[in-house]
Amino acid sequence: MGSHEPLRGAVLGLGMMGRHHARILQSNPAMRFAGAVDPGGDRFRAVGEAARVFATVDALLAAPDGPPDFAVVAVPTEEHLTAVRALAGAGVHVLVEKPLAATAEDARSLIDVVRAAGVHGAVGHVERCNPALRALRAKLGELGDIFLVATERVGPFPDRVRDVGVVKDLATHDLDLVRWLGAAPIQRLAAETQHRMKRDHEDLVLVTGRLENERAFNCMVDWLTPTKVRRTRVLGEGGMLVADTLRADLSFYKNADVPTQGWPAMQALRGVAEGDMVRFALERHEPLAVELEEFCALLRGEDGAAVVTLEEGLETVAVAEAVLVSAAAGETVALAAGSPSS
């Protein structure tokens, strides 16, 4: 692999997510598109050259220009482990869509497979590449002592997810973000779920808990709300940073030390500590392209490649399982080193 040669990437699964990876691999000059695998073919016409769509991984690996350097695994979550086995066994590096696997047990096996094959692996927790969240994290110092990370990720049901519920499909974004922004593992949590659509899996979850550094967190996630909201807030002694990841906007609501003197009605209405508000002008890059670029930087051995490690992906799946345990038992669950301990 020459250090400046574009890496050849493939995509497994040309569904809702895989088609976007395929688009970027075909258009980003820093990468080359090696092909895509989907037994259902190219439903979304995501691939320009029909000969680059294969029905099996074996056919991709046997293509005349050789196996790809890396592949994005964007098949349904329950099939991640099988897909990674086939790719890593052939020496192909893997960027696995989030969540890493449908169970913590599968996630552990997946890590073993990748390590045994000696290839690189990372997880596609793409929210970490959202410009608003990256900027929020870089500005955390402005908040002083931080005491809450709260996320809201609600919207209508995308009628495609069959294998997992909203906790593993959607809340895994939030369970990753609260640890990444709060800068510590989760110590304990309590969750409530709802099954309003009468499917096998839950469609709403509320999670409240605390990180090992004593910061509180809260996540509200569902497939039942008739409008889409993607909001992350961090509260500290200096005020609140709010990221809207749908619009890639970041705002800072400062606590004021200017009192509203002599106007008690206004003071009651506006609160005592409402100060200036700033909405930052951000450079906006497509998060998925940034994620692929960071993964290529990892493969090139560049310092500081910001990828989400497989171990972090496992921890997120283990926390998601703790959420389901808590909701089923109606109890607070303590976590030890990322694994449910009760």
Ligand X SMILES: NC(=O)c1ccc[n+]([C@@H]2O[C@H](COP(=O)([O-])OP(=O)(O)OC[C@H]3O[C@@H](n4cnc5c(N)ncnc54)[C@H](O)[C@@H]3O)[C@@H](O)[C@H]2O)c1
Give per-residue burial for 205-235: e unless 16+ CB within 10 Å, then b: bbbbbbbeeebbbbbbbbbebeeeebbbbbb
Report in angstroms how near the CB of residue 287 gets to ligand X at its nearest: 9
Q: Which is nearer to ligand X, 69 or 127 (CB)?
A: 127
Do residues 11 and 25 touch, judged by C-beta distance below 8 A? yes
Nearer to ligand X, 85 or 188 (CB): 85
Q: Is the Cβ–Cβ distance between 47 and 71 less than 8 Å? A: no
Q: Tell me whether residue 18 or residue 313 sits nearer to ligand X (CB atom).
A: 18
What's the closest the beta carbon of residue 85 comes to ligand X, in angstroms? Answer: 11
The residue ranges that bind ligand X (CB under 6 A) are 12-18, 37-40, 74-77, 79, 83, 97-98, 124, 126, 160, 169
- CB 98 to ligand X: min, Å: 5
Q: How far is the CB of 104 from ligand X (least distance, A)?
A: 15
Least CB distance to ligand X at residue 34 (A): 14
If the CB atoms of residues 45 and 270 are measured against ligand X, the closer one turns out to be 45
Rank residues 26 and 77 by Cβ distance to ligand X and give the closer one: 77
Residues in contact with 56: Cβ distance below 8 Å, sequence separation at least 6, in sequence order: 37, 39
Residue among 152, 127, 175 at smallest CA distance from 320: 175
Helix, coil or strand: residue 298: helix
Residue at shortest CB range from ligand X: 15
